Structure 1
């Protein structure tokens, strides 16, 4: 059956049991009667033009591209504080750990051309939207399942092996990497830090480590942050699963749900990872 952009946004929320559209997700150009969609991690103005030229009813991106989803993106960073406090990090310390990241995101959004890609879709009358946090939450829950399924006394290397059994991570050309610590280290308490806008960098990982967490999972991390943490910690661990492969875990679930409802999806820009 044909869907509207509103129904597709609602479907993404239903997959995780949420009621409200997150600040990092938005319908830029609404559409009705959607029976085909071009779906990708990053769909910007060239891909919007491709979708219009090839006759797709919708361009469906993962990453935010503009408007409120870009300008209000920092609002989703509050989840970083929620995740840290759930692992015993004091609220004030958690807020301090994310403060520099929040400032950087807010200033970056303020300087960005938040109208660029949406305006191209408007000119072409091409339905266009992005869904970010909900698919990431699907991936986060999958990582938590793996972490909770590890036996007491497991090593970091055994955790890496278990993560690599997730189809999207198994199919990716990127590997699950231990960026801080060692595969020989004890896994200990694991904090999965994903579906909170972006990674928390060195400050957030340090807050976890200083409050009893042994292993932090990010889906990506900057070289400077990894180097800084490596110089400080030997027995703590930062496991990085790979940005695109990790994003695709949730997007594949959404694509499957759309196809079950009769929307033919063409995955590009990373979304073909792990799909047969």
Structure 2
């Protein structure tokens, strides 16, 4: 059985119950009859050429490589505000926390060579697409289920240990890291800040911490933001857990791949999507 690129995108949306393609996802070169796919977290010009040479019907990436998903990425950052307000952060404070990030992403999208990878795919007539936010939402829900399934008196260390049992995280060479706080600290209220485009840095974590959240989960964070949070909250019992970027992305992508294979698509995985399979 073959699938079109549009049907493949629809499967990603169906997995999370969404009706619209997020701004960070798109079909760069479409196809009607896809039977084989090369699937990975980051698939760019070299991988496009590899796929064309080896006869794959589709290159399916996770991270947005170009086109509208690269230039117009910023709207997915609205999810950051949604997640913060759901934990009691006032909307005005949430907007302030994400303002700098939104500006940086808009500037980055505007300055990027958004045609680079898609134009290579077009030149080779190689079908090419990416699905970002929906697979990340699958991962976010997995983390949320784990947090909600722990006892009320669970510690941060216990949470980290259970996260580490997720196959993708267990197999990865990265570990679950506690960038702020101590393993013995109470877990308290947990904000899962994933599937919002990217991490919220120190500003978003600060908004959570200052409005009653005890533990924030990111899948990645920069060293400067970590240092800022350690300086500001190092003497408190606030906690920041970081699960690992590629391992965490693989969680949602692997469920997506499973759904595609259930529809008869033959998927070969590289570039991080080979973790936990």
What is the TM-score when the length of structure 1 is the normalising length? 0.99
**Is the partner of 1:165 in helix, strand or coil?**
coil
- Match for residue 260 of structure 1? 262
CA RMSD of aligned residues (A): 0.5
- Match for residue 30 of structure 1? 30
State the 1:150 CA deviation. 1.0
**CA distance in structure 1 between the partners assigned to 2:175 and 2:116 by the alignment:** 34
Q: How does 1:58-97 map to 2 (within 5 A)?
A: 58-97=58-97
**CA distance in structure 1 between the partners assigned to 2:154 and 2:257 by the alignment:** 34
> Which of 260, 268, 271 is the equivalent residue of 1:269?
271
- Match for residue 198 of structure 1? 198
The answer to whether 1:117 aligns with 2:149 is no
- Match for residue 232 of structure 1? 232
Q: Deviations over 1:87-130 (max 9, x none)?
A: 00000000000000000000011100000000000000000000
**CA distance in structure 1 between the partners assigned to 2:210 and 2:263 by the alignment:** 47
> Which runs of 5 or more residues in structure 1 are unaligned?
none
Q: How does 1:102-251 map to 2 (within 5 A)?
A: 102-234=102-234, 235-251=237-253
**Is the partner of 1:37 in helix, strand or coil?**
strand
**Is the partner of 1:216 in helix, strand or coil?**
strand
State the 1:182 CA deviation. 1.1
Q: Deviations over 1:173-204 (max 9, x none)?
A: 10000001111111110000000000000000
**CA distance in structure 2 between the partners assigned to 1:186 and 1:263 by the alignment:** 45
- Report the number of matched residues: 275
**Is the partner of 2:123 in helix, strand or coil?**
helix
- Match for residue 19 of structure 1? 19
**Is the partner of 1:134 in helix, strand or coil?**
helix
**CA distance in structure 2 between the partners assigned to 1:71 and 1:108 by the alignment:** 8
**CA distance in structure 2 between the partners assigned to 1:192 and 1:102 by the alignment:** 19
What is the TM-score when the length of structure 2 is the normalising length? 0.99
Q: Deviations over 1:122-148 (max 9, x none)?
A: 000000000000000000000000010
- Match for residue 6 of structure 1? 6
> Which runs of 5 or more residues in structure 2 are unaligned?
none
Q: Deviations over 1:237-256 (max 9, x none)?
A: 00000000000000000111
**CA distance in structure 1 between the partners assigned to 2:273 and 2:15 by the alignment:** 18
**CA distance in structure 2 between the partners assigned to 1:242 and 1:190 by the alignment:** 17
| Runs of 4+ off more than 6 Å | none
**CA distance in structure 1 between the partners assigned to 2:150 and 2:212 by the alignment:** 18
State the 1:167 CA deviation. 1.0
**CA distance in structure 2 between the partners assigned to 1:261 and 1:240 by the alignment:** 34
**CA distance in structure 1 between the partners assigned to 2:187 and 2:70 by the alignment:** 36
State the 1:263 CA deviation. 0.7
State the 1:153 CA deviation. 1.2
